[in-house]
Amino acid sequence: MYTILAINPGSTSTKVAVFEDEHEVLSRNVAHDPAELSAFADIQDQLVYRKEAVEHVLAIDHIDLSSIDIFVGRGGGLVPVKSGAYEVSPRLLQDASKGMAGQHPAQLASQICDLYVKQYGGVAYIVNAPDVDEYDEIARVSGLKDIVRQCHMHTLNQKEIALRYCADNGIDYYGVNLIIAHMGGGISVAAHRRGAMVDGNDIIKGEGPMMPNRAGSLPSLDLFALCYSGKYTQKEMKDRLSRTGGLMDHLGIDDAREIERRIADGDEYAKLVYEAMLYQVAKCVGSAAAVLKGCVTGIILTGGMANSAYVTRYISDYVAWIAPVTVMAGEFEMEALAAGALRVARGEETAQQYDGIPVWTGFTKK
């Protein structure tokens, strides 16, 4: 039996879980005081603070770090990579500490794991980092040569859900096509073709459906006019697109449960806006079906919003003609980290070596 510690740092919290093989024996979400976080000049400066937070919660539950066989982290801060598990190595740590893909707390996970290995022994991995990029080259082309479409989705949960769905149905993930819609604070819809996420919407750069607090794709010329209207500073416009847009902009809240209560109480505008978001998710599923040329084994709805029957019924009504719809509600990121590390430990998968070379370096031009 392997004892596994999974670490997943987020913007305002750090998730910590301990597993004995597949069985979760501890799960904690450590909330961080925004005032304390604001004292750090950048994300990398939070390394010791986050590490001590992990140690504190483990001490409360009497978890001895020397008993851990495998440390596994969220990963992040890397150049675009293939999916799967990676051994935590000096080159990986170097890029993570620099935040090669932009500063995000996820970059601290591999570094915390490495510090624990050096102190307590064991091995360290990352699994399906936010930097995974499996796009087809044709999917990268946009209408402006200066802008290249990139892959930023909920890869960890997307991949875990795909593997669970295939295991449940006795099929091979690398032999089928799936469409997975992850719906939480962010929404990512991906076309999985024989084990690779070949296209989807970039949630970091603002593509895709309207989301609880993100605007999603917008008519470009109208957005251009708004940006130069003089009404907003650059920061205010960025915040409106990525932090206070979507449901928040229309309704003043981004809590889907509260919005559904408003709808039940007869709020027609809340109903229109909420269903517009779900309609746009369904459109993204349709786009993914086109990417897969209509050959789709199944459509899976996941993430926190998939707990709502209102959400899943509405989307299914639009897309069930494409392929059978399965609901796998919730997020399985911590389970996905442990499962990925366990596959390596059992010899079912080989941990890859990070070389710092992006999986895609540009279009071939003659």
pLDDT tens across 39-63, in order? 999 999 999 999 999 999 999 999 9
pLDDT band for position 153 (50/70/90)?
A: very high
Token code pair at residue 347: 């010899």
Q: Taking the CA of residue 25 as centre, how many other CA atoms within 13 Å lie in the half-sphere pointing to its CB?
A: 13
First to last CA, the chain: 55
User: 264-318, pLDDT tens digit by residue?
Assistant: 999 999 999 999 999 999 999 999 999 999 999 999 999 999 999 999 999 999 9
Rounded distance between C-alpha atoms, residue 250 and residue 59, angstroms: 44
Domain with CATH 3.30.420.40 in the chain: 3-132+334-345, 137-331
Rounded distance between C-alpha atoms, residue 360 and residue 366, angstroms: 17
Record the pTM: 0.93
Rounded distance between C-alpha atoms, residue 281 and residue 214, angstroms: 13
* Pick from 101-115, 165-179, 331-345: least confident: 101-115
Share of residues in the chain with pLDDT > 90 (%): 95
Instruction: Look at residue 204 in the predicted model and tell me its pLDDT.
Output: 87
Rounded distance between C-alpha atoms, residue 137 and residue 297, angstroms: 23
Domain 3-132+334-345 listed as CATH 1.10.730.10 = no
- Closest of 184, 186, 213, 210 to residue 308, by C-alpha: 184
Q: What kind of fold does domain 137-331 have according to CATH?
A: Nucleotidyltransferase; domain 5 (3.30.420)
Average pLDDT score, the chain: 96
Length of the chain: 366
Instruction: Look at residue 12 in the predicted model and tell me its pLDDT.
Output: 86
Instruction: Look at residue 366 in the predicted model and tell me its pLDDT.
Output: 67
Token code pair at residue 9: 């740092």
Q: Does residue 364 register a pLDDT over 90?
A: no
**How many other CB atoms sit within 10 Å of the CB of residue 348?**
8
Do 22 and 365 meet the contact criterion of CB atoms below 8 Å apart? Answer: no
Q: Does residue 233 register a pLDDT over 70?
A: yes
Q: Does residue 166 register a pLDDT over 80?
A: yes
Q: Where are the beta strands (DSSP E) in the chain?
A: 3-9, 13-20, 23-31, 70-73, 85-87, 123-127, 177-183, 187-193, 196-200, 298-303, 325-329
For residues 65 and 12, the model is more confident at: 65
Q: Evaluate the CA torsion angle 286, 289, 294, 295 in order and state its sign.
A: negative
Rounded distance between C-alpha atoms, residue 42 and residue 258, angstroms: 34
Kind and range of the H or E run holding 142: none
Residue 105 per-residue DSSP state: T
> Cβ-count burial of 23 within 10 angstroms (0-12 exposed, 13-18 middle, 19+ buried)?
exposed
Q: What is the mean pLDDT of residues 64-69?
A: 97
Q: Does residue 343 register a pLDDT over 70?
A: yes
Q: Does residue 171 register a pLDDT over 70?
A: yes
For residues 365 and 194, the model is more confident at: 194
Instruction: Look at residue 96 in the predicted model and tell me its pLDDT.
Output: 97
